[in-house]
Amino acid sequence: MNPMLVNVVKGLIMDATRAANSGHPGGAMSSADYACVLFRDFLKYDPSDPKWFDRDRFVLSAGHESMLLYSLLHLAGFLSMDEIKRFRQWGSLTPGHPEHDLTPGVEATTGPLGQGLAMAVGMAAAEAHLRARLGADVCDHYTYVLASDGDFQEGVAYGAATLAGLWGLGKLIVYYDSNKVQLAGPTSRVDCTDYRKIYEGICWQVIDIDGHDHEQIRRAIAEAQQETGRPTLIIGHTVMAKGSASREGDFGTHGEPLSPEEIAATKKRLGLPEAEAFYCPAEVGGDFRGRQPALSRLAEAWRGNLADKKAHNAEFAAAWEWTTKDRGALTFEWPAFDPAKKYATRQAWGACLNALIEQLPPLVGGSADLDPSNQTAKFRDTVGNFNADTPLGRNLAFGVREFPMGAIANGIALHGGLIPFTATFLTFSDYMRNAVRMSALQKLPVLHVYTHDSFHLGEDGPTHQSIEHVASLRLIPNLLVLRPADAIETAACLEIALRQEETPSCLCLTRQGLPTLDPAVFPQVAAGVARGGYVLADCEGTPDVVLLATGSEVSLALDTVKLLKDLKIRVVSMPCVELFEMQDEAYKTSVIPEGARLYAAAEAGRPEGWHRYVGRKGLILGIDHFGHSAPANVLAEEYGFTPENLARLIRERLV
């Protein structure tokens, strides 16, 4: 390796953060030795295609060290020097933290610490499953992670790591840049953890090295690659801002650019031109790219083998087609639901999930230890649990780990080739909220299933009764929040979610049974759900009342109409506000027309969001307090979620 490579990378890190007057040079400099060795000597990628299917995945979990990754991507040919110079500027490909859908070569968006490591567990799990399904000649790559102290202090990383050890993800290799310093001071002030003991205790191989010794780094990576039954943690003992003239070990370098004087002195120490910014000589780049011709040949040979295998192996060709199929082209056959029966929408979801076992082979996922309650038990028992002995298992037994579950599902989606889902109670969506946010931010069409969606679950009490959660989830951009009214709407909502290409979905489902919307009476349901909101029951002429409802309150609205036969009432079912807002104004006005005497909404949750439809003077039947432990019918009476009370409120408003 050119002896100047690491120093040139450090120069780019210093110059870019200084030019932006913003950034994190210290950790990037302490990690530079490992990252340079990994990218130059080990990482498998296609120089012409950063999205090549069988590439190694590199996840910079320490996303604040983004300039380290951008420097390496520049040397690899994926980023221009102009983009390096535009670090953290509007419209650049080099934002403050890496974003996978923006910058070529970035595998995951890793601003929130800990989640990069957790997403990498999902990537490694996807690789192991697809290797078993497609063959090692098509899917056989490593997932590398560069993590910092902050990553390990976030519980999501540990939760995901326990599953990685349990699942025997031998092709997951995590490097811990242990420089003993974090943003606010030395790590000794906040952490006394022996990570060797911890990770050995959860079935990982652990290797300690000097993170600045290139030969130790090479040996550790090679040893990690040879361990096929356990993931590996390489603990690299390093120095913050290694190589700086006077700031080595200084926690202040974690989140602040070095001064011009310090940069000049450091460049002199490293043998770089003191007065030249963004110095990157051709010989250093040429040395870094020395393996690229061989990597290109490897990728071309892979493509040739893929074409041959598809042509001569029908079973593989079918599996590969599922692996690469556009989700927007998916079609489904859903189970029939008896119009004379009531179904909890979680029950309907379970029936639909079971129907997908054969219809949708790429579907993988599981529940946070709530399999019977989330209706995933039959899926689990039919497809088997994923682990080292049964990598073709499609059920992921996450245990009580909601946040890691969400982040792992994101990693599976990022890897590609599989369709992930998660499941828990709606109230526990709070535990995994930032993973859901990252699903949305990264444009990952993950399905998050939430059962027990309101106070109607009853006796379990206020800790389990969702009040604010649906409204809170609706605040996240690029997220579909689907709350179906019955079994028929549930199937329609699930189809919408599974056909998304860049948008995650939350499916919010009841525990209590709900009347089924008879297709003979309501033939418009499926088409209406696809538009987010639609006219479910109408009147002649301009309505006196337009009554909107979601989920369990749709049947409440229909029952209320029966008590108000002297009024003209239109009932609008709105299972997805986000989809409804995507419709044109003409459609929205056709559903919610002007001229009604009263606009009303009913939903067993926070009321505030409904003012956009009912206006300041409209009627909203919601709930703005925590629940109580009592039977569901008692709570409905106490909180006013009865046809009689809603009818009374409507009449009072019309006086």
Give catalytic residues, as residue numbers.
Answer: 402
- Cα–Cα distance, 168 to 164 (Å, whole number): 6
464 is in an annotated binding site: yes
In contact, 141 and 112? CB cutoff 8 Å: no
150 is in an annotated binding site: yes
| Amino acid identity for residue 51 in this structure | K
460 is in an annotated binding site: yes
Q: Which of 611, 609, 610, 615 is nearest to 594 (CA)?
A: 615
Residue 296 annotated in ligand binding:
no
To the question of whether residue 97 is assigned a binding role by annotation, the answer is no
**φ, ψ (nearest 5 deg) of residue 189:** -75, -20
Q: Which run of H or E residues covers position 177?
A: strand 172-178
Cβ–Cβ < 8 Å for 355, 335? yes
* 613 three-state secondary structure: helix
64 vs 372: CA distance, rounded Å: 41
**111 among annotated binding-site residues:** yes
113 is in an annotated binding site: yes
Q: Is 415 annotated as a binding residue?
A: no
User: Does the annotation flag 254 for ligand binding?
Assistant: yes
Could you tell me whether strands 545-549 and 513-515 are parallel, antiparallel, or unpaired per DSSP bridges? unpaired
Residues sharing a CB contact under 8 Å with residue 353, sequence separation 6 or more, in sequence order: 375, 376, 378, 379
CA-wise closest residue to 15 among 277, 399, 199, 299:
277
As to burial, measured by CB atoms within 10 angstroms (0-12 exposed, 13-18 middle, 19+ buried), residue 197 is exposed
Q: Is 196 annotated as contributing to ligand binding?
A: no
- CA dist., res. 501 & res. 328, Å (int): 7
Contact at 8 Å (CB) between 639 and 630? no
φ/ψ (deg, to 5) at 188: -60, -20
* Tokens at 485, concatenated: 């009214």
Nearest-angstrom CA–CA distance, 267 and 69: 20
64 annotated ligand binder: yes
Q: Which residues, listed in sequence order, are joined to residue 450 by a DSSP beta bridge?
A: 424, 508
Q: In a 10 Å sphere around its CB, with 0-12 CB exposed, 13-18 middle and 19+ buried, how is residue 57 labelled?
A: buried
For the beta carbon of residue 20, count every other beta carbon within 10 angstroms.
18
Which is nearest to 248 in space by CA: 265, 233, 236, 235?
265
Specify the length of the chain in residues: 655
- Nearest CA to 125 out of 165, 153, 79 is that of 165
Query: Beta strands 185-186 and 181-182: pairing type?
Result: antiparallel
> Dihedrals φ, ψ of 571, to 5°?
-100, 125
User: Has 428 been labeled as part of a binding site?
Assistant: yes
Numbered residues of the known binding site: 24, 64, 111-113, 149-150, 179, 181, 254, 346, 373, 428, 452, 460, 464, 511
Q: Which residues are annotated as a binding site for Mg(2+)?
A: 149, 179, 181
Positions at the binding site for substrate: 24, 254, 346, 373, 452, 460, 464, 511
Q: Binding site for thiamine diphosphate, residues?
A: 64, 111-113, 150, 179, 254, 428
